[in-house]
Amino acid sequence: MTTAKRIAIVVAACGIAGAACAQDSISKHKALPGDAPGAWEAAETCNEFVLDLVDLTGSWGTMFKAGPLLKSHKAQANFYNNLLSAQAISRDLRSVSGFPASSYAVWSQPGQGVHGQNNNAPGSVSPTGANFQFAAAFAEFGGSYNGISSAVVNYKGDDPTRLYVKAVHAASNGSFDGANLSQFGLGGIDAHGNLAFRGDGFGTSGATRLTGDNLFRVSTLARTCGVLNVIDSNGGSDAGTTAHLLINVPSDTDSVLTPNLIPQSVAGRPLLIGTNFLSQYIFESVPGVLSFTTSHLQGAPDHRGAVGYTKRSWFNSAGAAGTAAFLVQSAAGLAESLSILDVDANGSSLLPGVVLLNPASASGGSSITDNDDGFTITSAGDWLWGNYQSQVRFRGGTGQVALTVTGQGHRLVAAQAYDNVTGGSADTPTNAIIVARHDPSTGATQWTLAAYFDAIAAKGKVIKDGSGGTAVGRLAGLYEVTGGAPLGPSISSPAFDCAGNIYFIAAAELFGSGGSDFDVCLVRAVYDPASFKYELELVMTTGDIFVGANSATPYMITFLSIADSNSIDSSTIYSGNVMEDCWGGVSPQDLQGSTDPRALGGLIVNARVTYDSNGDGAFDNTNDENYRVAFFIGAGAAVEDDCYADCNGDTVINSLDFLCFLNLYVAQDPKADCNGDTVVNSLDFLCFLNAYNAGCP
C-alpha cells in the first residue's frame, strides 16, 4: 500500500468538513511563533479544550478515532515546540459523575485556539453528567528547558468522537530561559492524574539543582493553575501537589530507573513502583515512604530495565493489586528471562511467581516459531531481551515488558528481543516481539512471535489487509528507511490492549501499484486466542493525512520514532503507551472478538504533525506550521447502552441494583468481575461501588 493510497483512505474517512482534532490548531500568524504554550508562561499552566477525533481506518478496515491530544511546550524561538521524550497513558479508565473543569474551549476556524496571544478566541462548552476518565503524560525538552506535560481526559460513552481535555504543565526544570535545575524521565500516570517520574542533576547548574537520583509523584489535578511547578533539590515549588519520594541519592550509590505506578483506582492510593542499579525493586510501601527488596528476582542475579505492570492478577493471589514483570539475567549475565509476580496494594511482591526463560536464548537452547507463518528463531542466534539500554534507563520509556490477562483468562507477556550473535548490540536491526502464554494452574508455557525482522535473511513478517488476507506490506529493517543511520532497532517494545492485541512502532515496506514505500508505521498484531497466533494490521504510517475541522486545515503525520543514534529511542512505544482497559468500560468478555475496535481503550504515540498552514497543497516543515504532539488513537465505536451499575437492567439505578450485584458477587458469578481481571474479589466490589455512585450516562 503506497503512501498516496493511504492518504486517499484517511482523507476520505475524515472528510473535508469532518470532525476536528484536539489542540488541532494553527496560530493566527500561520507561521512562527506558532501557538504552542510557552515553557515559562505561568498563564498557560492549565488549558481546557475539546478534542473531536477524526476517523482512522486500519488496513483490515478497523475503524479507529484519532487526533493530536497535546502539543509540547515552546522553548526556542526558531522552533514551533519542543521534542517529546517518553510518554505514558493511564493503565486504568474511571467511571465518574463529573468533569475536572466547568467549561472547555472549542473552535472551528484557522487561528482559533487556547493560546492567549497567538490564537483568536475560541468558543466554549460546559459538559455535565456521567462519563469516563483517563490521563496521559509525556516528558519534553528543548534548549535549556526540560519538563513534563499531562492531560486528564474525559468522554461520554455514547460519543466516541469528543474528548474533553484538561492539560496541565506538571513539572519544569526552571522558571526562565537558561534555568536548568533538573532533568526528567517519565514514568507513569493513572486515571486520577497522579504522575510518577524520575529526576537527576545531569548537566544542571544552580545552587538548588538536583544532585543525584530522585523520584517524584505529582497530583496533576491538584496543581495550582497560573503557577509553574519548578523541580529542584527542595522538591516541587507547587509543594502541596508534589511528593519528593527519593531525595538526591548519589548516582553511584543507588541509581534508579524511570518508575511505574499502581493506579489509585486499584490500590486505593497512587503507588510508585520501580527498579534501581542495586538489583532492587522499589515500592511506596506507605504514602511517601519507599521500601526496597530483591525478592522480585526470584533467584535471578539481576534485572534490566524498568518494571512492567498490569492491574490484572496473573496468580489470583489474595489481596493482589495487579502483576509486575521484569527482564532478568541468567547466571551468564545476559537478559534471557522474565520474572513475573503479583503485587499487593502496598506494592509488595507476592510469591510464588514464575520465571520464564526465553527458549531462543543460548541458555534456553531451543527455538520459537511464529504460529502464523512458521518463521522460527533459534538459540543459535542467542535472542536477548532488549530496548532497555543507553539513555532509556534514565529518560524512559516504561517499561520493556508488557503483560495482561485477557477475557478468556489467558496470561500473556511480551517483550522485544534482538539477535545477539548476528547483531550483537543495542542498535541491531534484527528484532522480534516474543510472546508467552502461561497457565499458572499447570505451569505450562507456550511461545510464539507477534512480529519479526531478520536482517540476514532480509525477511520481515507480512502486514495484511485482513485475517488470512493479502499482503499490503512487510516489516523491514530501519536501515531500509533511513539508509543506514540509524541502523536499528527496527521494532519498538510492545503494548497490550484489553483483548491481548499488541501495538508497536516498526519500519515497514508498504506495497502498492506504483511501487513500494519504506516508512515508519504504527502496527497492530491481532491476537487469535484459539490458535495462539498474531497477524499484522497497519494502523498508521508517516505520510497519512487528516483534515482538522477545528483548524479547518489538513495536516500530515511527518514523523514517528523508533531509534536514536545508538539504541531504541525514549520517545517510541513502550508497554505504558497503551491503556489496558477497553473503550468505554466495556468488559473484555463482552467484546466481539479481538478485532472489536473497542479493545483499544486508547494509546498515545509521539508524532510530528505538519499543517498546510500556507494553503499551497504541500506539507513543508520549513514553510508550514509543524508540531511535536502526543497523538491519540482510540476506538471508533460508541459504547453500547449497557451501564454496569444498572445490574438488574431496569434503567433505574437504586438499591435493587446493589442487591443484584451482591447476589452475583456471593455466587462468584463472572458477571461480578467488574474490573475485568478474571477474579471476583473485593476489588470488584469497590469497582461496582464506584460505578453505582457515578450512575449511568
Buried b (16+ CB within 10 A) or exposed e, 447-486: bbbbbbbbbeeeebbbbbbbeeeeebbbbbbbbbbbeeeb
Statement to judge: residues 95 and 151 lie in one domain: yes
Residue 186: name the closest of 284, 101, 88, 76 by CA.
88
Beta-carbon contacts of 565 under 8 Å, excluding residues fewer than 6 positions away, are 485, 486
- Expressed as residue numbers, the domain containing 335 is 3-640
Q: Bridge-partner residues for 435, per DSSP?
A: 414, 448
Q: What is the largest CA-CA distance in the chain?
A: 66
Statement to judge: residues 527 and 662 lie in one domain: no
Statement to judge: residues 675 and 659 lie in one domain: yes
Statement to judge: residues 218 and 203 lie in one domain: yes
The total number of structural domains in the chain stands at 2
Q: Bridge-partner residues for 449, per DSSP?
A: 434
CB atoms within 10 A of CB 41: 16
The pLDDT value recorded for residue 642 is: 57
Instruction: Check: CB of residue 59 under 8 Å from CB of residue 472.
Output: yes
Statement to judge: residues 531 and 661 lie in one domain: no
The pLDDT value recorded for residue 650 is: 57
The pLDDT value recorded for residue 639 is: 52
Q: Which residue positions in the chain have pLDDT lower than 70? A: 1-22, 549, 637-642, 648-651, 670, 677-678, 697
Statement to judge: residues 535 and 666 lie in one domain: no
Statement to judge: residues 602 and 693 lie in one domain: no
pLDDT tens digits for range 262-305: 999 999 999 999 999 999 999 999 999 999 999 999 999 999 99
Q: Could you give the CA distance from residue 603 to residue 29 in angstroms, rounded to a whole number? A: 31
The pLDDT value recorded for residue 22 is: 42
Output phi, psi for 380, to 5 deg. -60, -25
Statement to judge: residues 584 and 653 lie in one domain: no
Statement to judge: residues 654 and 611 lie in one domain: no
Q: Could you give the CA distance from residue 695 to residue 697 in angstroms, rounded to a whole number? A: 7
Grid-cell match 503494548, residue found: 495
- pTM for the full model? 0.90
Torsion (CA) 563, 564, 569, 571 in degrees, nearest 10: -110
Statement to judge: residues 636 and 654 lie in one domain: no
Distances in whole angstroms, Cα of residue 533 to Cα of each of 369, 466, 599: 10, 14, 17
Statement to judge: residues 259 and 333 lie in one domain: yes
The pLDDT value recorded for residue 251 is: 81
Give the end of a domain, one of 621, 640, 659: 640
Q: Could you give the CA distance from residue 185 to residue 206 in angstroms, rounded to a whole number? A: 20
The pLDDT value recorded for residue 684 is: 83
Q: Could you give the CA distance from residue 114 to residue 48 in angstroms, rounded to a whole number? A: 8
Residue 274: name the closest of 199, 165, 330 by CA.
199
Statement to judge: residues 529 and 412 lie in one domain: yes
